[in-house]
Structure 1
Amino acid sequence: MRLYSLLFLATFLGVSFMHSQNKQLLYDFYEIPQSLMVNPGVKAMEKWHVGVPVLSGLSFQAGTSGVTVNDLFANDGIDFTTKVRERLLDVMNRKDDFSTTSQIEGFNVGFRGRNRPDDYYSFGMYGETDIIVYWPKDLAILAFEGNGGANIGRSFDLGDLSLRGEMVSVFHFGINRKISNTLTVGARAKIYSSIFHFRSTKNSGSFSTTEGQNNIYANSITSDMQLQTSGIDGFLDIIDDDTSGNRRERLERLFTKKVLFGGNLGLGFDLGFTHNLNPQTTITGSLLDVGFIYNSKDIRNFTLNGSATNEGVSIVLPDDISNTGTDIWQDLVDEIEESVPFNENESGYISFRPVKAYGSIRYDFGEGKTKTTRRNCGGCLVNNVSRPNEDFYRNSVGGQLFLMKRPRGIQGALTGFYQRRLGRSLALKTTYTVDKYSFSNVGLGLNLQAGPVNFYVLADNLLAYRNIADSHYASLQFGFNIISWNGN
């Protein structure tokens, strides 16, 4: 029963949140301190910054590459069973997914080195949830249609089952360094503390029904499947404990313990750079979450491995009627379990973080107040400026590329953007992104600087806000910071 609860939890989380990880609006939006988190080598302009705890960086994104809520539940007069058939089973394939990534910053602090003003140090902590559930096409058809009728002789692929998820707290420290007037590089070290993790990504096998020799049908199964979990049993033990009256308090204590280095631990790093090809053309790149977690605590793994063929129960009359001491049903179950055993173990394992990569090229134009200084120094103001949006080109256009390692291959996105800086206090960025979730994703970001107070809000796929239920993608990021500039 606990296994069923675990699988339900995994599927529910994947379908409920349905997020994506691309932060194309935040990337290279260097007026926002949190842009350091997606490129540790972005040009940092601040003297120091402090994020408002918990409110400095919140990211909520939602997307599905297949069916939408409106596709199934719209009041359009079409029978629900017909919708499932025509809009779900006939359309979605094993590459479609429901995936989630959400981040909440606990704290984020940055400061410029007193003896090395070209170095900008930052550190903090954030929590991240990352879950992906691929659409199990063959298994969905088997559940919807059964194994009879037209499906006699069809081989259903058990490898269609693929899911992965984790919740982790991340403690990080980064260094951003101006190497020259045209090059800035950065690196960030990370310590991961896993709250929970599960994966079932390398499954194989088949199930089929054919005509039998001793009975009407014969069912055959070949299976090599595994579900690995860590950190989940501890929460389930508390939930299942009916004798304790402080269940909520115990759950909170366990959660807090795992957030603060009490979970399975791991290490990782980020790298990034910004390079001015000339005063108006800039290229950037970053590689994020190159790391792993060693799962050794609170482990519970499940395996299903073997092959069997049976033709059901064969009854010989009248002998089996008089032989009441024979439990033919239990004999059948025992035979199948012996051929395809379902086992559990507590073996530790290593899980790798989902690696992400960004790249961009940007062209700046429309010079600001001190345009001769900028032209003559060849990009020397990459890090050393007195105020935001001063001495910089007012307009930027360019393109961005996003790549992410997923269980079934590389997931990518391509973005075009335009950015406009209005005075020293306001910057706007608009994007158009093409990926597996949407071909019409228009986003808008706003960064507002009111004295030392910084506020930003970034929203994706604005055209879909007319009907969120019919959208394949939606995203919202916002946060508050206190910033001191070099001239303060």
Structure 2
Amino acid sequence: MWKKALILFVFSTFLANAQNRPLLYNVDDLPQSLLQNPGARIDFTKHIGMPFLSQIHLSAGSTGVTAYDIFSDENNNVNQRVRDVMNSITNRDYFSVNQQIEVLSLGWKVGNKGYFSTGIYQELDVFAYFPKDPAILAFEGNADYIGRDFKFSDASFTGEILTVYHAGLNYKVDAKLTVGGRFKLYSGIFNVESTGNEGIFRTIETPGGPNFYRHEVSELNVRINTSGYASLKDEEGMTVDQAVSELLSRSFFGQNVGLGLDLGFNYRVTDQFSVNGSIQDLGLMFHQKDVENYNYYGSFQTSGLEPLFPELDDNEQAIPYWEIFEERLDRSLQDETTENAYTTWRPLKYNASFQFGTGKSILPCDYLLSKKPRFMNLFGMIISGANRPKGPTYGVTAYWDRKVTDNLRFRLAYAVDEYTLTKLGFMVSSRFKNFNIYLAANDIIGYTNLANANSASLQLGMQFIFKDL
């Protein structure tokens, strides 16, 4: 069971930032802003994405540790570097990755006030907390930690690959308020999750007992749920390439399904000042097919073995102490594999922001704004986050958005989040007639030395965007 848990945890960690993308949030001439806020203010009347190329998003990060901390040449003692890292980070530090590819994206104006958009995207999301207590116990043992409780609740991770089919409506209620919603159908490809684990391991001194120490496992309850994994595991001799091919074959029609909803709004307090907010992926996944659960539970105490060495004749056998110990351990700590369906919440994401414009200009093709003025300089702040098993992650981003011409704009951003206090971002979007291309990179400082960076994020895409006059 523990071997399976280790494989799944390593798989989750090395496949691996919050999913929020502040560099495209509130960008009113990019359709991708509707994926973050279905009620966003927009200024186009139709869009058609290049299949598989309209949005490619990759991001990864870790809090509290970087690759440089472990593989640096400054200290040749690798064990000491690992020990220093484990002592410096906490059980609330985490590793994360998010990848998203837009397979299909299109939208068009509906009536005088609406805009309908639909599409398909594939997403991978992995989030794993650092299992501090189990890691210290495995790496250093318990000799220096007599009387300390090692908590199995530190082990907590989720990972999923899925395809999302979505359709949304952006609707201008009046000159000030725009609202929107997006319905999502999730098609699950792969899922693994282990959250809410319980149990404690401790070693205590027992001077008056049968031994100097007693080892205890108290109220252990560890569970790992998987879907889409059992069929891969059961295929004898399956290679990594074959496993990847099998996962890709499920891309459009996965074995498990779910439902979700995005909601958002934008309110123009004045011509220059606006506020908006959104929630994404308020939804559930129902895992019922190709499901396998690994459970380990129970309590156990031992003061070690107390062997006796009686004189034996040729017909007598030595007492099988180890077999007796194993039987007692197996009776107390149960290892069980089941095939029970389970349900998971998608990681709910949320955004709230305000924006102030300066440098007035007229944008006659902005049908949703009824030919209201636009502003060449936009200054704003975004608060964003995502729900995770041990509580929400967060980030605050301030930005300057400059519309250089009708065909060129850029955004500079500075963010503070759980990865770093110095995250600089840059986005540029350019249009050639109706063809649009954009690029956004976050944590630019980290790109100078990726091994020493806590996070990195890159987005790019190309599409056709139409603005009817």
**Which TM bucket (shorter chain)?**
over 0.9
Aligned 8 A contact 1:10 1:165 in 2: no
Supply the AA of the counterpart residue of 2:417.
Answer: D
CA distance in 1, matches of 2:415, 2:20: 10
The answer to which structure has the higher helix fraction is: 1
Matched, 1:97 2:79: no
CA distance in 1, matches of 2:234, 2:44: 47
Higher alpha-carbon deviation: 324-333 or 263-272: 324-333
Aligned 8 A contact 2:155 2:197 in 1: yes
Match of 2:404 in 1: 422
Supply the AA of the counterpart residue of 2:103.
Answer: G
CA distance in 1, matches of 2:130, 2:242: 36
Q: Using a 3 Å threshold, how does the CA distance of structure 1 residues 80 and 413 change in structure 2: closer, same or farther?
A: same
The correspondence for 1:221, drawn from 212, 217, 224, is 217
SS in 2 for 1:103: strand
CA distance in 2, matches of 1:7, 1:381: 55
Higher alpha-carbon deviation: 283-292 or 391-400: 391-400
* Deviation string, structure 1 residues 400-434 (Cα, Å, up to 9, x no partner): 11021110011111111111001111011111111
CA positional deviation for 1:398: 1.5
Aligned 8 A contact 1:118 1:383 in 2: no
Matched, 1:162 2:159: no
CA distance in 1, matches of 2:156, 2:380: 36
CA distance in 1, matches of 2:435, 2:70: 44
Match of 2:134 in 1: 139
Q: How many residues align?
A: 465
Match of 1:12 in 2: 11
The correspondence for 1:203, drawn from 197, 201, 205, is 197
Match of 1:377 in 2: none
CA distance in 2, matches of 1:186, 1:410: 24
Supply the AA of the counterpart residue of 2:96.
Answer: S
SS in 2 for 1:392: strand
CA positional deviation for 1:319: 5.4
Match of 1:329 in 2: 322
CA distance in 2, matches of 1:156, 1:49: 54
Supply the AA of the counterpart residue of 2:334.
Answer: P
Match of 1:359 in 2: 352
TM-score (norm 2): 0.94
- Within 5 Å, give how 1:217-366 maps onto structure 2: 217-222=213-218, 223-238=220-235, 240-241=236-237, 252=245, 255-256=248-249, 258-318=250-310, 323-324=316-317, 326-366=319-359
Q: Using a 3 Å threshold, how does the CA distance of structure 1 residues 315 and 321 change in structure 2: closer, same or farther?
A: farther
Match of 1:411 in 2: 393
* Deviation string, structure 1 residues 293-329 (Cα, Å, up to 9, x no partner): 1111111111111101012222112158974264221
CA distance in 2, matches of 1:259, 1:78: 44
Q: Using a 3 Å threshold, how does the CA distance of structure 1 residues 138 and 5 change in structure 2: closer, same or farther?
A: closer
What's the RMSD between the two structures over aligned residues?
Answer: 2.2
Q: Which blocks of at least 5 consecutive residues in structure 1 are unaligned?
A: 375-379
Q: Using a 3 Å threshold, how does the CA distance of structure 1 residues 123 and 321 change in structure 2: closer, same or farther?
A: farther
Match of 1:27 in 2: 25
Match of 2:441 in 1: 459
Supply the AA of the counterpart residue of 2:214.
Answer: A
CA positional deviation for 1:16: 4.2
Matched, 1:476 2:458: yes
SS in 2 for 1:317: coil
TM-score (norm 1): 0.90
CA distance in 2, matches of 1:253, 1:336: 38
Match of 1:48 in 2: 46
Q: Using a 3 Å threshold, how does the CA distance of structure 1 residues 403 and 77 change in structure 2: closer, same or farther?
A: closer
Q: Using a 3 Å threshold, how does the CA distance of structure 1 residues 248 and 155 change in structure 2: closer, same or farther?
A: closer
CA positional deviation for 1:366: 0.4
Aligned 8 A contact 1:47 1:111 in 2: yes
Supply the AA of the counterpart residue of 2:397.
Answer: T
CA distance in 1, matches of 2:95, 2:182: 29
Q: Which blocks of at least 5 consecutive residues in structure 2 are unaligned?
A: none
CA distance in 1, matches of 2:243, 2:126: 25
CA distance in 2, matches of 1:427, 1:200: 43
Aligned 8 A contact 1:426 1:447 in 2: yes
